[in-house]
Amino acid sequence: MTDRFYIEVGSAQRNHVGERICGDTFLSEKIKEEGRTVIVLSDGMGHGVKANLLATLTATMALNFTKEHKDAHKIAEIIMNTLPVCSERKISYATFTIVDIEEDGQTTILNYDNPETIIMRDKEHFYPEWQNITLEDQQHKDKEIRACTFKARKEDRILLMSDGITQSGLGRGKYLLGWGQENVEQAVYDQINEQPDISAVKLASVITNRAHANDGYQAKDDSSVVVVYCREPRRLLLSSGPPFEKKKDTELARVVEKFNGKKIICGGTTADIVSRELSIPIEDTLEFDDPDLPPISYMEGIDLVTEGILTLSKTAGILENYTPRTELGKGPADKIVREILESDEIHMLAGTAINVAHQDPNLPVELEIRRSVIKKIARILEEKFLKEVSLRYI
């Protein structure tokens, strides 16, 4: 039987000092019908808008060609024929690393001019057999792409990075020649052995922050880390809204009670139903960590209890505008987003009873009814964050 696992993809970036846009681009997509996940990191030459455009063009082509199962030679040649070449240095204006993971763990990595990909297995470095693919067309003769294929296992991690990471600290203090590949590998090794279940997002952030510190918190280049983590899925239930029929209150409460994973309840009525049916008292608070939202409550066995539609609407907004540089606050919606981002399978249980208060025409237009907001959150989680989402109405 195949050792099935969830593929978590997390990233962290730091812009070149003084730039508002990153010259590295990270893209990923899950191809559901084929059970594949494709991840691309591209580094545009220089920094700022021009570098970002070149990196985005490269990453988009790499992602689309990989999805179409094009040969490694072909992917590289098309990309390099499309990109302009630096007139002085005679090198392409962008680098790229592509990871293509199939449902059974079959993994292919292609790397053109980015630092070496780091692969960890059983808390140790794993070194698959790499091949050098030489391009054959006259324009790019003798240029090489590094490629490897191996079978990923549960708990494997794959770390991609731009050279802003390996070159951090260059010319100053401890790392006169830059942090270097070996030191980055050691930092990854130490972090995983210290915290074996560290998430992809957190590991990417730790390494990026270390590189930023090497540069005295004044990044001399765009720095990006992407981590792919193959692991047991982390499950989250988000329940919001009372059932259409009151007789289904017990069913809703039992679903919450029996769920194996973290649990969030959004909505006072929903919380009251679960409290009544399971005989769990609700403890209200005056924790106004977000002036726009009512405070959270506490229930034994439930990880987070918040108000309903206002909190969900703000949650949808945060998710929609979220980037690797977004800093989450302490408010109820921020807490929901944090829990969602640290989970893989999001199970949404939406009650379909109409709340008369939310049909008031005097309320703001953006205050959508619960069902629309939940659908929006589900779509964002699937398309933007590659989460596995199930949505059940009751």
Residue 143: what pLDDT?
Answer: 76
Helix (H) or strand (E) holding 374, with range, is: helix 370-383
Residue 365 has pLDDT above 90, yes or no: no
| 190 or 288: which leads in pLDDT | 190
In 10 A of CB 246, how many CB atoms?
10
| 130 or 80: which leads in pLDDT | 130
* pLDDT (tens digit per residue) in 181-196: 999 999 999 999 999 9
Residue 363 has pLDDT above 60, yes or no: no
Residue 362: what pLDDT?
Answer: 53
Residue 1: what pLDDT?
Answer: 34
Helix (H) or strand (E) holding 345, with range, is: strand 345-350
Residue 274: what pLDDT?
Answer: 95
Q: 245 vs 271, 279, 350, CA distance in Å?
A: 16, 20, 13
Residue 221: what pLDDT?
Answer: 93
Q: Under the phi-then-psi rule, with left for phi > 0, alpha for psi from -120 to 50, and beta for the rest, what region is 322?
A: beta
Distance CA 393, CA 183 (A): 51
Q: Are 75 and 38 in contact (CB under 8 A)?
A: no
Residue 74: what pLDDT?
Answer: 81
Residue 55: what pLDDT?
Answer: 93
* pLDDT (tens digit per residue) in 311-357: 999 999 999 999 877 889 999 999 999 999 988 899 999 988 766 55
Q: Are 308 and 241 in contact (CB under 8 A)?
A: yes
* pLDDT (tens digit per residue) in 52-102: 999 999 999 999 999 998 887 788 778 777 776 655 555 557 899 999 999
Residue 244: what pLDDT?
Answer: 86
CATH topology for 6-231 is Phosphatase 2c; domain 1 (3.60.40)
| 144 or 106: which leads in pLDDT | 106
Residue 370: what pLDDT?
Answer: 78
Give me the mean pLDDT over the 257-273 stretch: 95
Give me the mean pLDDT over the 372-389 stretch: 91
Q: Are 83 and 92 in contact (CB under 8 A)?
A: yes
**Confidence label for 36 from pLDDT (cuts 50, 70 and 90):** very high
Residue 81: what pLDDT?
Answer: 78
Give me the mean pLDDT over the 219-239 stretch: 94
Residue 358: what pLDDT?
Answer: 52
Q: Of 217, 177, 179, 214, nearest to 15 (Cα)?
A: 217
Model confidence pTM above 0.85: no
Q: What percent of the chain has pLDDT over 90?
A: 66
Residue 90: what pLDDT?
Answer: 57
Q: Which residues of 306-318 are buried (b: 16+ CB within 10 A; e: fewer)?
A: bbbbbbbbbbbbb
Residue 84: what pLDDT?
Answer: 67
Mean pLDDT of the chain: 89
Give me the mean pLDDT over the 205-210 stretch: 96
Residue 367: what pLDDT?
Answer: 42
Residue 91: what pLDDT?
Answer: 58
Q: Which residue ranges does the chain devote to CATH 3.60.40.10?
A: 6-231
**Confidence label for 116 from pLDDT (cuts 50, 70 and 90):** very high
Q: What percent of the chain has pLDDT over 70?
A: 92
